């Protein structure tokens, strides 16, 4: 592959990695560590779980990312209010009959008399004040396509701004938007260069929160899967994902470690952490996928991958700008 093909494989890889992690983890959501071993074959996509997912079916994590991905594919500016209005309207339409809208996101979307950017931000603030928190993992899980929006820019500035703005459509807490900024800038760097400079990703978070996140990621790097508390919280989810990568031997800065085996192992580690398995695996998969690229992903997994709104892996590849996976 030439440089352009490699970059496209990584751009497609982040979207497929998100959806694969989501679908692999869905059967085990809200249970203790399932202790699974992923083999890279079709049996890994077993389906089931409390919500009766079909084999290979993704959940809300990928479904909420798709309206963002569609805007990026159409060349829209994610920072413009009309674009964010369309994204909120698509989420509202999806949530009307989706089986698995997260509690916080459902509270925000169901309260919208008119689904648009300003109304969503206002409702997010209202729900945040009513419950005293809005630091769930529900905005981090959908952030992958934001990384593909401004790849031609000289800096990651607009990428970071868009990651924060889209997080704030539903989640007010800085923990949620900071995690989105770090993850999204890291994915952008992975797509462009094939490796991640953690310091660069952290540089888009204001001090003193930057120092806190540096410590959180350092702790995750040396930690054990399943030891970060309730991973419905965005901080614990990000730490579990970072730990899953590290324990798979996947060094974000070293392309020699970005192998198909490491991608599969990172997905397995994320799921075996237990708890919000689909989301932790989705957060892991979107970054791992941007590092290893679409070509490193098991074909039997891609064959059965599908979900709302009635699309499959081929359409995810097309929307992320690539040819056949
Ligand atoms: Mg989910």
> Is it true that domain 3-319 has CATH number 1.10.4080.10?
yes
Categorize the per-residue pLDDT at 324 as very low, low, confident or very high, splitting at 50, 70 and 90. Answer: very low
Rounded distance between C-alpha atoms, residue 261 and residue 278, angstroms: 20
Compute the distance from residue 60 Cα to the ligand 1 centre, in Å. Answer: 4
Output the CA 21–ligand 1 centroid distance in Å.
10
CA of 144 to the centre of ligand 1 (A): 15
Model-level pTM greater than 0.95? yes
54 C-alpha vs ligand 1 centroid, how far in Å? 14
**Where do the domains of the chain lie?**
3-319
Dist. CA 197–CA 190, nearest whole Å: 9
Assess whether pLDDT exceeds 90 at residue 1. no
What count of residues does the chain have?
325
Percent of the chain whose predicted confidence (pLDDT) is above 70: 99
Cα angle 50, 48, 240; round to 5: 75
**How far apart are the C-alpha atoms of 197 and 185, rounded to whole Å?**
10
- Please tell me the distance between residue 280's alpha carbon and the centre of ligand 1 in angstroms: 9
Cα of 47 to ligand 1 centre, how many Å?
A: 13
Determine the average pLDDT of the residues in 253-268. 98
Q: How far is the CA of 102 from the centre of ligand 1 (A)?
A: 8
Q: Mean per-residue pLDDT for 4-31?
A: 97
Which range, of 31-35, 148-152, 210-214, averages the lowest pLDDT? 31-35
pLDDT at 323 over 80: no
Query: Could you tell me the distance, in angstroms and rounded to a whole number, from the CA of residue 112 to the centre of ligand 1?
Result: 22
| DSSP type of residue 312 | E
Separation of CA 221 and ligand 1 centre (Å): 24
Among the ranges given (108-112, 131-135, 227-231), the one the predictor scored with the smallest mean pLDDT: 131-135
Structure tokens given for 150: 């401004």
The mean per-residue pLDDT over the stretch 277-301 comes to: 97
CA of 29 to the centre of ligand 1 (A): 8
Distance 100 CA to ligand 1 centre (A): 7
Please report where in the chains the tokens 């991973």 appear, as a residue.
231
**Does the pLDDT at position 165 exceed 50?**
yes
């Amino acid at each position: 592959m030439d440089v352009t093909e490699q970059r496209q494989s990584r751009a497609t890889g982040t979207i497929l990695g998100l959806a694969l992690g989501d679908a692999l983890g869905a059967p085990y959501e809200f249970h203790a560590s399932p202790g699974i071993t992923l083999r890279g074959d079709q049996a890994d996509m077993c389906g089931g779980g409390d919500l009766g997912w079909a084999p290979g079916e993704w959940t809300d994590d990928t479904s909420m990312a798709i309206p963002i991905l569609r805007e990026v594919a159409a060349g829209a500016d994610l920072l413009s209010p009309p674009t964010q209005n369309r994204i909120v309207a698509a989420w509202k339409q999806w949530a009307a009959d989706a089986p698995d809208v997260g509690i916080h996101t459902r509270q925000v979307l169901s309260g919208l008399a008119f689904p648009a950017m300003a109304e969503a931000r206002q409702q997010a603030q209202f729900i945040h004040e009513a419950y005293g928190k809005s630091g769930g993992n529900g905005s981090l899980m959908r952030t992958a396509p934001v990384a593909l929006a401004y790849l031609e820019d000289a800096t990651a500035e607009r990428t970071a701004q868009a990651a924060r703005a889209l997080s704030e459509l539903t989640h007010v807490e800085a923990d949620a938007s900071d995690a989105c900024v770090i993850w999204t800038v890291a994915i952008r760097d992975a797509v462009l260069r094939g490796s991640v400079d953690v310091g660069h990703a952290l540089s888009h978070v204001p001090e003193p929160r930057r120092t806190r996140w540096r410590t959180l990621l350092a702790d995750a790097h040396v930690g054990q899967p399943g030891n970060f508390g309730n991973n419905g919280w965005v901080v614990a989810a990000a730490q579990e994902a970072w730990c899953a990568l590290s324990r798979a031997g996947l060094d974000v800065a070293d392309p020699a470690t970005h192998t198909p085996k490491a991608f599969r192992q990172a997905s397995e580690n994320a799921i075996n952490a237990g708890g919000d398995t689909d989301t932790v695996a989705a957060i892991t998969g979107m970054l791992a996928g941007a590092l290893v690229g679409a070509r490193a992903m098991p074909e039997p997994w891609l064959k059965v991958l599908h979900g709302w709104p009635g699309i499959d892996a081929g359409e995810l590849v097309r929307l992320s700008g690539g040819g056949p996976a």
